[in-house]
Structure 1
Amino acid sequence: MALLCAATAVAAMLYLSKPSAQIAEPEYKPVSIDVTTAVKETVRVTVQAQGTVGALRETAIMAEVSGRIIETAENLVVGSFVAEGDVLLRIDPRDYQTSLLRAQASVESAESSLVQEKGRSAVAQREWEKLPSGSQRSQEAKNLYLRKPQLELAEAQLLAAMADLNTARDRLERTIIRAPYNSLIRAKHSELGQFVGAGSRLIDVFSVDQAEVRLPIPQSKLDYLELPGVEGYTEEHVIDLYTDVAGQIKHWKAMLHRTEGVFDDRSRVLYTVARIEDPYALSSPGAEPLRLGTFVNADIEGREFSSIVVLPRHILRAGNSLWIVDDSNILRNRQVSVLRTDGDEIFVSAGLAEGEQVSLTAVDNSLNGQSVSINKSTPSDELREEPSLTLPAETDQQAEQAATAAVAQ
């Protein structure tokens, strides 16, 4: 009992001797953030597109006469280059040489007949002039007497014979099959000793002097480009084509030539066509050839836009909002207008003034209106390497999905 009383007394003494409590004011430490200073720039839009290199001209060479193939060129193989006018194969010409001889003989016979008829007509003219004036009858009778109908018939027969001669020469010439232009042989449908009829497909070739690539431009990106009218591009518009070749990026220069003028029914894209000179580098030994069928990327330079602020994409919040630090270092939420979102960058066209500070640090929504401290400030034009806006290529599947969504709405 005594022990309990002693413990109670000690506890009472400790309680009575405790110091009085002091209420301390909470200390607020501003959040430290990194910011970028808005710098307005003039940027030129570069739209990316993709396409497959195709032939400017492609011809299926057909037989114009029938016969057996008696000769083929040594380089008449798939993938071989042939120059304009090179002989590719020959069809047996003997029947057509015979037809030519007969046509020549017919011409000589018609010429002889015409000469004889002219002589008879001259004799008739002299006889007619000797007749008394009273015995001369009508003009029709005179023409018959002077053998004018027979003379006209002989002239017509000569013209017909000459036409047959020209046809025979053409048919004989068509037994020789030549390359229509500088080309590469894509396919071969005939062989030595084969009999072919008129209209038979012999060889498929395509031109190697020029090539084309169709580049799809979605409707959403047309405003970024300066597209021509129906007359095509009146000035030079050089674009860069590139692709991966054996692990290395190869580049080729191309010229925009025209647009196809209609939207694709399925993907809702407009095709612009670029033309490549000497794609197989035949006149530039050592250069990398751009073979037909190559899938390439293209950078198409478009319009310039002024007063654009380029910022990292990760700082853009829902509803196109950014954290802005005002002159009092207070964090404010602000909605801006975004011209384009591309890769790791956004391009702000309105809502930011020159020199305003934009937070690069992701902060919680609860800090809206709170004071912050700036750790580091960087001008916005130093945050990026290239001063151009590149819009990524849109695949046909993406374009088709976008068109489907637009129709559904």
Structure 2
Amino acid sequence: MKTKILPLIIITAAFLIAGLMSLLKPDALALESPNREVAVTTKVIDKSQIQLKVKSQGTVQPRTRTMLVSEVSGIVMTVAPQFVVGGTFNKGDVLIKLDSADYKVAKQRADAQLNSAKAQLLSEQARSSQAQKEWEMTGRPLAEAPVLALRTPFLAEAESRLLQAQAEVRQAELKLKRTVIRAPYAGMVSSKQVDVGQYVTIGTRLGETFAIDFAEIRLPMTGKDLLKLGWNTDPENQQALTKNKVQLQGMVNGKTATWQAELVRSEGTIEQSSRAQYLVAQISDPYNIERRADRMPLLIGSFVQALVLGKTINDVYPLPRNALRPNNRVATVDGDQRLKLVAVDYLFEDRSNYYINKGLQGEVEIVTSGMGIMVNGMKLKPFNSENPVKLP
């Protein structure tokens, strides 16, 4: 009997103890409700006039590159001091001279043949004139005279020999002139392949040069980039493209340098691998031959960054990229310092900003800092990033 009652007694005692503990527990401390304002960083933006800019890059290349080859055969007699890799020269400078002795002899031989042909022509003209007079003495019309009687074929042959002799002289002069290799333009030597004493034949490569009056940079562009520049395939529009200025930036001897260039043309094709179109920027006097104090030389082969000035757009808001929320919304601060989400649309974008053309009106204070859950009307505590609060 006692065994059956004991568990009931234990259960009853446990309920009593639990009830007493519940009645005797202390009251919960009332905590003050936290501040519900959300601290955010803001920035005030307004409509602006923006000149779009496009960034690109490329390698500096010569506008004109030439492989010098020999047009005659002979031994290299002299090489100009400036005909070395890196040497500069002006248009018309003598770079290489070949042995011209054989060509001078050929020229004398051609002159002699020319004099002989002239003499033969004079002799045949005299004979033809005498034959004509003799025929006239017969009293018959000159039109009835046989061509052999008037020596007409012999006169024509003498005239042809004169023309041939003149051509031989001209050819001899050309070959003699070609023993002197002159610079076709002002430029620089990029490779040298012959030297004094070497025998060269027709077609032998002597060296490679490039012009230094202008240099070019091929700039890859996407479709969006071309839209910012206001470019299309119309020929008239491509002429207007040349007004776009380009700022180049690169390294010279470990220092950053800048140069001014301009767009001159489009290559008119799309590269298969990258699907990019190439515009060509041109810079004058890349090696600073004019010795301008405010300019560093831009060497061929240098890699440069390019900033191309595009078209100007009006009445757009420059919105920092981190301020555009999902679904093309912007978090703004209203007059009561509450959150207002506004749907917007942008016209262009770059690496720093979206340029908003729809959705915003007047001067707007936008939230630029990150936020978790955003609910219209939530209380904000804005801190303007342009005028930060100084902590004590």
Q: So what's the TM-score if we normalise by structure 2?
A: 0.84
Where does residue 233 of structure 1 map in the other structure? Answer: 239
> Counterparts of 1:100 and 1:70 in 2: how far apart (Å)?
20
> Counterparts of 1:99 and 1:182 in 2: how far apart (Å)?
32
**Structure 1 residues 137 and 266: alpha-carbon distance in aligned structure 2, compared to 1, 3 A threshold:** same
**Where in structure 2 are there 5+ consecutive unaligned residues?**
1-15
Contact 2:319–2:355, Cα closer than 8 Å, also in 1: yes
Where does residue 364 of structure 2 map in the other structure? Answer: 356
Task: Kindly provide the CA deviation profile for residues 348-373 of structure 1, in whole angstroms up to 9, marking residues without a partner as x.
Answer: 232222233322343331x5034314
RMSD value, Cα? 3.1
**Where in structure 1 are there 5+ consecutive unaligned residues?**
1-7, 384-409
Instruction: Tell me by how many angstroms 1:309 deviates.
Output: 1.3
2:263 to 256, 262, 280: 256
> Counterparts of 2:69 and 2:27 in 1: how far apart (Å)?
112
1:150 matched to 2:157? The reply is no
Task: Kindly provide the CA deviation profile for residues 300-340 of structure 1, in whole angstroms up to 9, marking residues without a partner as x.
Answer: 11011222212333233233322233445442333322344
Q: Secondary structure at the match of 1:262?
A: strand
Task: Kindly provide the CA deviation profile for residues 55-97 of structure 1, in whole angstroms up to 9, marking residues without a partner as x.
Answer: 0111001100111112211222111011111111111111111
Q: Secondary structure at the match of 1:119?
A: helix
Contact 1:38–1:352, Cα closer than 8 Å, also in 2: no
Q: Secondary structure at the match of 2:325?
A: coil
> Counterparts of 2:32 and 2:215 in 1: how far apart (Å)?
78
> Counterparts of 2:30 and 2:246 in 1: how far apart (Å)?
72
1:292 matched to 2:300? The reply is yes
> Counterparts of 1:301 and 1:156 in 2: how far apart (Å)?
65
Contact 1:49–1:216, Cα closer than 8 Å, also in 2: yes
Where does residue 130 of structure 2 map in the other structure? Answer: 123
> Counterparts of 1:222 and 1:291 in 2: how far apart (Å)?
28
Task: Kindly provide the CA deviation profile for residues 32-73 of structure 1, in whole angstroms up to 9, marking residues without a partner as x.
Answer: 444333411111101011011110111001100111112211
> Counterparts of 1:339 and 1:249 in 2: how far apart (Å)?
33
1:322 matched to 2:333? The reply is no
Residue 192 of structure 2 aligns with an amino acid whose one-letter code is: K
Where does residue 40 of structure 1 map in the other structure? Answer: 47
1:107 matched to 2:114? The reply is yes
Residue 362 of structure 2 aligns with an amino acid whose one-letter code is: E
Where does residue 399 of structure 1 map in the other structure? Answer: none
Contact 1:62–1:202, Cα closer than 8 Å, also in 2: yes
Where does residue 94 of structure 1 map in the other structure? Answer: 101
1:313 matched to 2:321? The reply is yes
Where does residue 214 of structure 1 map in the other structure? Answer: 218
Of stretches 251-260 and 105-114 in structure 1, the one that deviates more from structure 2 is 251-260
> Counterparts of 1:152 and 1:335 in 2: how far apart (Å)?
94
Where does residue 160 of structure 1 map in the other structure? Answer: 164
> Counterparts of 2:187 and 2:112 in 1: how far apart (Å)?
40
Q: Secondary structure at the match of 1:363?
A: coil
Aligned residues: 365
Residue 334 of structure 1 aligns with an amino acid whose one-letter code is: V
Residue 193 of structure 1 aligns with an amino acid whose one-letter code is: G
Q: Secondary structure at the match of 2:147?
A: helix
Q: Secondary structure at the match of 1:233?
A: helix
Contact 1:33–1:372, Cα closer than 8 Å, also in 2: no
Contact 1:38–1:353, Cα closer than 8 Å, also in 2: no
> Counterparts of 2:92 and 2:331 in 1: how far apart (Å)?
70
